[in-house]
Amino acid sequence: MSPATQANRRTLLLLAGLVVLVGLIAWPSFVGRMQYARTRAELAAIRDAATQAELTSVGKMFTTLARIIGPTVVNVTSKKRLTSVADEIAALRGIRPIGKTAEEVGSGVIVERDGVIVTNYHVVANSSEVDVALADGRRFAATLIGADAGTDLAVLRIDAQDLPVATWGDSDTVETGEMVWAIGNPFGLDRTITYGIVSAVGRKGVLESPYQEFLQTDAAINPGNSGGPLVDVHGRVMGITTAIVGKDYSGIGFAIPSNTARKVCREILEDGYVERGHLGMLLASSPPDVFGALVVAVEPKSPAALAGIRPGDLVVSFDGVPVAEPAGLVLQVTRTPIGEKVPLGVVRSGTEDTVIVQVGRRPQ
């Protein structure tokens, strides 16, 4: 091989090596640019799809819910007479007290077309007048059909027909994390809708009443929301908003489960009052690390006394359902039909036994 040929060959090899070296340096950058371009195109496509379809449908869901449930929500205003010490002295002397009135503003939801409305008891308690404003602007004087302080629920009626009606949902199916919307009149702002999730279910001990358990939500609830509905993604009423922690919204609100509200409403419409089961036991929390509800006292001639329950007994189950603490047992008893015979699991002197107790009627 001639020297010229060898020189040409070396030149070609050097050029080839240079091309390979440049390729190794430039290729990752080229590939990165291609991948970035493809990712950018994918993101653009996702954004366009979301803007045109997915996010639009989510937004439409919110507006549709507002249109479905909004017309069924009412503004409830009650006038309450305030009695001062001077008024009491005047009354004792036979002088007509002047008295002052205050207004309580809350919300309510229409549950029957002929003007039946569910709201909170504390909104209308001790009221001389109750006024209801509908979504269409009409105002009516409302009649209190009945109330249940134990669950903080009241049923009103207005003289109107063919009203839009909310649909009850099944609160027993509600799970923590589900989306919910609260609708009411916070601070007098008609039919305000707020959004959140169910933060917890079965909350007990929030208020003093032993008959209450709540759905907890982070949907904004403020003064004036009381008595309004808490609805699911289908617009079904899953609860009646009733309480907040503090004086205004702090991310923790509570609603009476719809199954409780529906039952109370039905009983008030049918009987005028709420009937609850009763055993006649005074209960206390059991010692630490002990499962059950401790019987402190037993009312004479009560269903518990007739069944042989004694102070010092530890109730560990009711109708086959374990009892973890007193509040749970009270709720189970109050929800049991009057006259029903139920097995009660009792631990006495370290020995567990089952007694049959017939649920009585709680005194009004």
- The whole-angstrom separation of Cα 292 and Cα 321 is 11
Reduced to 3 states, what is the DSSP secondary structure of residue 354? strand
pLDDT, tens digit, for every residue of 88-120?
565 566 666 555 677 888 899 999 999 999 999
Q: Which of 78, 122, 218, 286 is catalytic?
A: 122
**Is 248 annotated as catalytic?**
no
| Domain spanning 277-361: CATH superfamily | PDZ domain (2.30.42.10)
- The whole-angstrom separation of Cα 321 and Cα 345 is 9
Reduced to 3 states, what is the DSSP secondary structure of residue 34? helix
Stretch 210-216: mean pLDDT: 82
Identical fold for domains 168-266 and 277-361, yes or no, is no
Question: Which two tokens mark 36?
Answer: 């970035």
Contact yes or no for 240/153 (Cβ under 8 A)? yes
Question: Which amino acid, residue 343?
Answer: P
Closest of 301, 354, 360 to residue 333, by C-alpha: 360
DSSP sequence for 297-340: EE-TTSHHHHTT--TT-EEEEETTEE--SHHHHHHHHHTSPTT-
Percent of the chain residues past pLDDT 90, beyond the cut: 36
pLDDT, tens digit, for every residue of 292-314?
899 999 999 899 999 999 999 99
pLDDT, tens digit, for every residue of 64-96?
777 888 889 999 999 877 665 555 565 566 666
Task: Mark out the alpha helices in the chain (DSSP H runs).
Answer: 3-49, 55-69, 85-92, 121-124, 258-271, 303-306, 326-334
Question: Which amino acid, residue 361?
Answer: R
Question: Which two tokens mark 6?
Answer: 């060898």
Question: Which two tokens mark 298?
Answer: 């037993």
- The whole-angstrom separation of Cα 232 and Cα 238 is 7
Q: Which of 127, 171, 199, 226 is catalytic?
A: 226
Contact yes or no for 316/345 (Cβ under 8 A)? yes
**Is 226 annotated as catalytic?**
yes
- The whole-angstrom separation of Cα 110 and Cα 38 is 54
Closest of 241, 239, 207 to residue 224, by C-alpha: 241
CATH 2.30.42.10 holds for 168-266: no
If you search the block for the tokens 């994918």, which residue do you land on?
Answer: 42
Burial 337-349 (b: 16+ CB within 10 A, else e): eeeeebebbbbee
Burial 42-67 (b: 16+ CB within 10 A, else e): eeeeeeeeeeeeeeeeeeeeeeebbe
Closest of 238, 187, 242 to residue 212, by C-alpha: 242
Q: φ and ψ at 294, to 5 degrees?
A: -85, 130
The distance from CA 165 to its chain's CA centroid, rounded to whole angstroms, is 19
Measured distance between the N- and C-terminal CA atoms of the chain, rounded to whole angstroms: 120
pLDDT of residue 28: 54
Of the CA atoms within 13 Å of residue 342, those in its CB half-sphere come to 27
- The whole-angstrom separation of Cα 342 and Cα 320 is 9
Reduced to 3 states, what is the DSSP secondary structure of residue 79? strand
**Is 122 annotated as catalytic?**
yes
pLDDT, tens digit, for every residue of 188-209?
777 788 888 999 988 876 666 6
Question: Which amino acid, residue 227?
Answer: G
Q: Which of 78, 107, 127, 152 is catalytic?
A: 152
Extents of the domains making up the chain: 168-266, 277-361
- The whole-angstrom separation of Cα 235 and Cα 176 is 18
- Asked if residue 220 has pLDDT above 90, the reply is no
pLDDT, tens digit, for every residue of 20-60?
555 555 555 554 555 545 656 665 665 565 555 555 566 67
